[in-house]
Amino acid sequence: MSISDFLNNCIESLMEIFRKYSPVIVPVLVLVIIVIINSINSFVNVNQILLHIPSISGTLAGFLFTFFGIFTALPDNNFIKVLKSNGYMKIIHITLITGISTLLVSMVLSIFGVLSYLSISLFIVGVSETMLASFYLFIVSTYSSKSK
């Protein structure tokens, strides 16, 4: 086995792990990056953010509910069957459920004004899950429409 084959296999293994655990990896990376940036240059005004979290969280949760409906209504073609057999549809559903639940909890916490930093953290997790779900929706709908 050559070095290039070995590196190729390592990269493929890492990409498979990332795909499988992306609903956890992406929000953690986003939270770590925001905490690092905020510790260097404090740009977060908690009171100002808490005023807008309920409306934005409700809107994004609505988008995720819509995405959930679109994913469940996709035609049962060969591409969707392969996604289901490989476990990718489960990953997509976990992403959607995690995003919806974190956004709704963040909305409730910010409405009542309790645990503000937890509310902001859950909001950031929900936003990152929404971005991930948008990416999944684009990829799955693109390839699903090309499959028979």
Total domains in the chain come to: 1
Which pTM value belongs to this model?
A: 0.71
Quote the percentage of the chain above a pLDDT of 70.
Answer: 82
Residue 69 has pLDDT above 80, yes or no: yes
pLDDT band at residue 1, thresholds of 50, 70 and 90?
A: low
What are the pLDDT digits (tens) for 71-112? 787 777 777 777 777 777 888 888 888 888 898 888 888 888
The helix or strand, by DSSP H or E, that contains position 43, with its residue range, turns out to be: none
Domain enclosing residue 70, as ranges: 3-146
Q: Report the pLDDT value the prediction gives residue 8, as an integer from 0 to 100.
A: 73
pLDDT of 46 higher than 80: no
pLDDT (0 to 100) of residue 44: 60
Which residue from 120, 132, 133, 128 is spatially nearest to 54, judged by alpha carbons? Answer: 120
Q: What is the pLDDT confidence band of residue 148, given thresholds at 50, 70 and 90?
A: low
